[in-house]
Amino acid sequence: MPLPRLRQIIIQGLLLALLGGHLPVASAQRDRDKNSLPVLDFNAPLRLNFSGNWEKDFARSDRWEDELDRQLRLRQEAAALQQAGIRSGSGPAVSLGNLNIGRNSSRGANLIQLAQLAEYINRQSTMQITQDRNQVRIERSGEAPLICGIEDGAQTTFESAHGSEICGWENQQLVFLISLPGNIVIQHRFTVDANREQLRMVTSVNSNGGTPFNLIQSFNRYDVGADELNCIVTVSRGRVCSQVTPLQ
């Protein structure tokens, strides 16, 4: 067989081998890549995005005085049921331990103090939250920032003779637990809706492991105005902005 003819047969054989083997394999690989699911990074848990500027929605937030009256009323009703059971002798009395229910009792005064502390903690009308792949940082005027990592598990963020702070995640809820001298425990629980338009902050304050005083605060996300505007949030007029006079 002439050499040119043999060379042509060899070249054709190589081309057929390439077309019959490698190219279909490469095509199948591309199809598998296209249909495969993305690989999750379990070292970076999925979290809802809390970042943004938030202003309090007073219409949807608890008023601490109303919540205090409600809890005092419930305790007084429970005490009345207990006394009625003792007098009639019918059925077991409601167990309230050593509680002396009443507005002027020491326990009632303690509840009032817890309510006032919860109101003081939630006095700010706005907050700013920044979030990245490593942590969430919650800034409130006049308060130390609340900072928590993204990873799972309890995280101790502060500990000293003056108290301690632990944070963590329960599903998509961000929780802070603050212990203060005097056996006072403050819990903040943050949730945000999927479209990042509304945020909910539930603050629970208790003393000596007693029944906590809970206060629910709702926030709406807003866009930060220009630097020349100074904005505050009021109960009667909502968000009010005024022009800032530049310094000369």
Q: What is the CATH number of the domain that holds 226?
A: 2.40.128
57 within a domain of the structure (yes/no): no
Cβ-based neighbours of 220, under 8 Å, separated by 6 or more: 54, 55, 57, 197, 198, 199
Tell me what pLDDT residue 210 has: 82
Residue 81 in any domain: the answer is no
- For 106, counting Cβ atoms within 10 Å of its Cβ (0-12 exposed, 13-18 middle, 19+ buried), the class is exposed
CB count in 10 Å sphere of residue 25: 10
* 222 within a domain of the structure (yes/no): yes
* Residue 68 in domain: no
**Overall size of the chain counted in residues:** 248
Locate 55 and state its tokens.
């202003």
Task: Report yes or no on 161 lying in a domain.
Answer: yes
Whether residue 64 is contained in a domain is answered as no
Total number of domains in the chain: 1
DSSP state for residue 137 in the 8-state scheme? E
Predicted local distance difference test score (pLDDT) of residue 36: 57
113 CB-contact burial (10 Å; exposed 0-12 / middle 13-18 / buried 19+): middle
Tens of pLDDT, residues 104-136: 334 444 888 889 899 999 999 999 999 999 999
The whole domain housing 173 covers 122-243
- Residues of the chain scoring pLDDT < 50: 15, 18-19, 21-26, 90-109, 246-248
pLDDT at 179: 93
Q: Is residue 8 in some structural domain?
A: no
Q: Is 36 among the domain residues? A: no
- CB 14 within 8 Å of CB 6: no
Beta bridge partners of 178: 165, 186
How high is the pLDDT of residue 140? Answer: 92
Look at residue 107 in the predicted model and tell me its pLDDT: 46
Q: According to the model, what pLDDT value does residue 187 have? A: 96
Model pTM score: 0.63
Residue 164 confidence (pLDDT): 93
Angle at CA of residue 27, ends 23 and 31, nearest 5°: 170
d(CA 14, CA 33): 28
pLDDT tens by residue, 165-194: 999 999 899 999 999 988 899 999 999 998
